[in-house]
Amino acid sequence: MYCPKTAKEHRGQQKARAVAFLGGKCADCRNPDSRVLEFDHAHERRNNGPTIGSLLDGSWSRLVKHLGKCELVCANCHKMRQLSQPKFCVP
């Protein structure tokens, strides 16, 4: 009998695959700990489309199109990047 993956399992597998696709470690400090790795929309700032988190529920082909616009960074480096950016207003 076939049992479909749960949504949680699918998201976990998609995230692991996306992390591997982007090199598996922080682009800035080279930290390989997947528990702290995040996706930074480095070239396309916020509010310009779906988040990677929302795309983890969908297909790999749709996700990979958006991964090309991201860099993999650890939470610490991600925060440092955000703090070095000029402040912007969110409507």
- How far are the Cα atoms of 4, 91 from residue 1, in angstroms, in the given order? 10, 50
CB atoms near residue 60 (< 10 Å): 14
CA distance 74 to 15: 14
How does pLDDT run across 11-45, given as a tens digit for each residue?
889 999 999 999 999 999 999 999 999 999 876 65
- Whether residue 71 is predicted with pLDDT greater than 60 in this model: the reply is yes
The dihedrals phi and psi of 13, each to the nearest 5 degrees, come to -70, -40
Residue 2, CB-side half-sphere exposure with 13 Å CA sphere: 1
